[in-house]
Amino acid sequence: MAGAGMLRPIVAILVLAGTAVSVRAQEINDYPTSARAEYVFGCMKANGESRQSIEQCSCSIDVVASIIPYDRYVTAETVLSMAQVRGNLGGQFRSSEQAANALNDLRRAQAEAEVRCF
């Protein structure tokens, strides 16, 4: 029975370690599935609709997600969308320093993904 008593601290450590890994994975993987799917869909439209492009585009969003947090990604995607609007509203998104920084972050992450995945 002495062996069972010694296992309790080990089990507790393993549970805590597993929880820490799970939390870390959630922090890294904070992109919703729908956002990942949209990215892969758009990437495949640009790179061909093949099995190879699925692998490359899935890899690409994983790299992007590992580099920039989801809220920063949403900001950059919003800037890209709104910058296409004509007039003052679109101009504000095209000329904002915050918008430019968010876009630069996304472009750097995508460039890294290009190197790693394609």
For residue 84, the one-letter residue type is Q
Q: Render pLDDT for 93-118 as a digit per residue (tens, 0 to 9).
A: 667 888 889 999 999 999 999 999 99
pLDDT given for residue 55 in this prediction: 97
Q: Render pLDDT for 39-86 as a digit per residue (tens, 0 to 9).
A: 999 999 999 999 999 999 999 999 999 999 999 999 999 988 887 788
pLDDT given for residue 85 in this prediction: 81
DSSP labels, 20-75: HHHHHHHHHT-S-HHHHHHHHHHHHHHH-SSHHHHHHHHHHHHHHHHHS-HHHHHH
Question: What are the residue boundaries of the structural domains of the chain, listed by start?
Answer: 31-115
